Amino acid sequence: MTELNDLTARETARLVAGGEVSALEVVEVRLERIAAVEPLVGSFLRVDGEGAREMAADIDRKVAAGDDPGILAGVPVALKDNLCVEGREVTCGSKILKGFVSPYDATVVRKLKAAGAVFLGQTNMDEFAMGSSTENSGFQITRNPWELDRVPGGSSGGSAAAVAAGEAPAALGSDTGGSIRQPAAFCGVAGLKPTYGRVSRYGLIAYASSLDQIGPFARDAGDIAVLLEAIAGHDPRDSTSAPLPVPVYRDSLGGEISGMKLGVPRQCFSEGLEAGVEKAFRESLEIFRGLGAEVIEIDLPRIPHSVACYYIISTAEASSNLARFDGVQYGHRAAGAENLIEMYEATRREGFGEEVKRRILLGTYVLSAGYYEAYYGRALKARRLIKDDFDRAFELCECVLMPTSPTTAFEIGSRIDDPLQMYLSDLFTIAVNLAGLPAISITGGFDSRGLPVGIQVIAPPFEEEKIIRTASAFEAGAGFQDRKPVLSVPPAAVPGPS
């Protein structure tokens, strides 16, 4: 039954719900795939085979009884390690939370269970979602299935790599400044950052609360539509959750985009854009034109300022959110301290990695009395102006197109000692979070090495249907989503750090 490994989430759910294949068979095939490729890729921090089998058996019992198993019946899903699952360890990729077992389910986890999904385990991530390469994990490095000496992107690199490597047909991640879309681009899969408030953040361990958003990974926009439909909706336990009805996103698939106006910011073609990315992006614009869309030039003048704005706001919020990890209530506690202050200091010194410490210090600095208005106050004003730029752009076009990242996947270790260069990986994604907009990354081509190039489709708030229609039309015309990496390198031959 190895052909089950090639099924999309939609195909899997249809076969399981129709009784043509059991959910248990589907899970066993994915677990076999995980066992085969994990020594190469390292997508997962923890795999719960027994838990997955129990969930699959429950789905099979529902099907046998004639009950509705849900729109994700028997679909194996991987979860980023910052989403709480009752009774399972959650660490945010950090040693400071090692051993912490969640007492409750995140809202998206509860919704996936109701939709019939089966959880395979928790995927690797940059510690507390702070990074663009998944090299900042406190436990291991995840490798890109397309080239094992390259990063999968971050911070949701484990989820993206799991889908690209065929370990799971779908996964969830979180996106604070591009952490779903950038790894989706690097790994050649689809990844959606929903509108802020479209998906509940209850049970997501926070990095930057005004920017974080949970979203799905999958092979294509069709599966993204089903996953979003399953997890979206108002949640009274999240005060930022929007009280809006959830559309049937599947109805957006296969729609026409002829006559649609798509805007391309002139700021996309800036210094730092790799030649292979620019070539693939320009060719993708021709595909959109061939589908009948009108591609026009627009202006987003403050895109170059978004990185500075983001790193002030996000680190300020992180310095507050991460204050709770002090060794008192949960997680790691340093031994041998003689008083409470020493225990705080030792716990955080031992538990947090270098990037997390760097961002906490930066956030504390910009919030300090002498610098609050000079940095944090100005960043909030810049954020408003960035949103205004998008509002003006959407008066001229229905969606905005941009490359997802200025580069394709870079080599492991090549940027880890250069934080500024690493931060620039998110140049084209950050503004979307600052403006609270929805955006999807899909594969728009490949560079000269055969590495995937991601393109973004961005829409006004709560217009995910428009994004899904545009992305699915492009995929139908281009077919790039059908290309998959070949994992054949033996573990002993894998280059790079362990």
pLDDT digits (tens, 9 = 90+) for 174-228: 999 999 999 999 999 999 999 999 999 999 999 999 999 999 999 999 999 999 9
Q: Which of 22, 43, 133, 179 is catalytic?
A: 179
8-state DSSP, 395: T
Rounded Cα distance, 106 and 102, in Å:
9
Q: Which of 62, 80, 111, 466 is catalytic?
A: 80
Q: Please confirm, yes or no, whether 155 is among the known catalytic residues.
A: yes
Q: Which of 94, 133, 155, 252 is catalytic?
A: 155
Q: Is residue 372 assigned to a domain?
A: no
DSSP-derived pairing of the beta strands 214-218 and 190-193? antiparallel
Q: Is residue 470 assigned to a domain?
A: yes
pLDDT higher than threshold 50 for residue 490: no
Q: pTM value? A: 0.96
Rounded Cα distance, 184 and 163, in Å:
9
Rounded Cα distance, 285 and 287, in Å:
5
pLDDT digit string, tens, across residues 234-283: 999 999 999 999 999 999 998 899 999 999 999 999 878 999 999 999 99
Q: Please confirm, yes or no, whether 320 is among the known catalytic residues.
A: no
Q: Is residue 244 assigned to a domain?
A: yes
Q: Is residue 338 assigned to a domain?
A: no
Q: Is residue 378 assigned to a domain?
A: no
What is the per-residue pLDDT for 1? 43
CATH of the domain at 21: 3.90.1300.10
Q: Is residue 273 assigned to a domain?
A: no
Number of domains in the chain: 1
Q: Please confirm, yes or no, whether 80 is among the known catalytic residues.
A: yes
Q: Is residue 232 assigned to a domain?
A: yes
pLDDT higher than threshold 70 for residue 67: yes
Mean pLDDT of the chain: 95
Name the strands in the sheet holding 294-298, side by side, starting at the edge strand that comes first in the sequence: 44-47, 118-123, 76-80, 170-174, 214-218, 190-193, 439-446, 452-458, 399-403, 261-265, 294-298
pLDDT digit string, tens, across residues 309-367: 999 999 999 999 999 999 998 889 999 999 999 999 999 999 999 999 999 999 999 99
Residue pair 273/303 in contact (Cβ under 8 Å)? The answer is no
pLDDT higher than threshold 90 for residue 491: no
DSSP-derived pairing of the beta strands 76-80 and 118-123? parallel
Residue pair 27/76 in contact (Cβ under 8 Å)? The answer is yes
Q: Is residue 228 assigned to a domain?
A: yes
8-state DSSP, 118: E
Structural domain boundaries enclosing 63: 2-267+278-299+392-493
Rounded Cα distance, 352 and 327, in Å:
12
